[in-house]
């Protein structure tokens, strides 16, 4: 299947959620049969968001949007992604077994509701690199002093 023939899915996720960030990071390392556009809700342009879904609703759970506008949310969104990953696609049909769909939805909502407490939350200052300064992970960051030392007048 050529890259051009691959389906395109947009994943809309909460960029302040450590679990969401870890999930997106892992997805970037996996081979998939789809082009996955992973879009943080906090920086998504309005045209990337599904119609008739409020930001409040989008932030409650992961959303996956197909090219035709079909929207999957929560556990269904996870299963939709899993279907595109050859190494995991065998798990997707299990979602259809009696009782498992409901159980997956309940568990997803429970984890989603408590995700910040369970996995932590990114500080909003992380978007500009300040959290890295406090964590000691400053490799690749430049300061105004560094810029001036290199002759940059900004």
**How much is the pLDDT for 123?**
79
Mean pLDDT by 10 residues, the chain (154 residues): 76 96 95 95 91 92 95 97 96 94 96 95 62 47 43 47
Q: Which residue bears the tokens 């995700």? A: 115
Calculate ∠ Cα 58-62-63, nearest 5°. Answer: 70
pLDDT at 69: 93
Give the pLDDT score at 6.
Answer: 86
Question: From the CB of residue 10, how many other CB atoms can be counted at a distance below 10 Å?
Answer: 19
- pLDDT at position 126 is 55
Which pLDDT belongs to residue 3? 55
Q: Please tell me the predicted confidence (pLDDT) of residue 141.
A: 41
Whole-prediction pTM value? Answer: 0.76
In sequence order, the 6+-apart residues with CB closer than 8 A to the CB of 9 are 34, 35, 36, 37, 64, 65, 66, 67, 80, 81, 84
129-to-60, 62, 84, 98, 153 alpha-carbon distances in Å: 26, 25, 33, 46, 21
């Amino acid at each position: 299947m050529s890259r051009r023939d691959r389906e395109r899915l947009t994943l809309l996720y909460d960029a302040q959620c450590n679990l969401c960030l870890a999930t997106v990071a892992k997805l970037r390392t996996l081979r998939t049969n789809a082009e996955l556009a992973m879009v943080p809700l906090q920086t998504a342009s309005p045209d990337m968001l599904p119609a008739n879904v409020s930001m409040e609703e989008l932030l409650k759970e992961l959303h996956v949007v197909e090219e035709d506008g079909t929207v999957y949310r929560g556990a269904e969104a996870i299963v939709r992604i899993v279907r595109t990953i050859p190494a995991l696609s065998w798990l997707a049909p299990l979602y259809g077994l009696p009782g498992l769909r409901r159980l997956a939805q309940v568990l997803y909502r429970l984890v989603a509701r408590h995700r910040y407490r369970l996995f932590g939350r990114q500080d909003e200052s992380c978007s500009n690199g300040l959290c890295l300064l406090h964590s000691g992970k400053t490799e690749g960051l430049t300061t105004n002093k560094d810029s001036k030392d290199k002759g940059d007048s900004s």
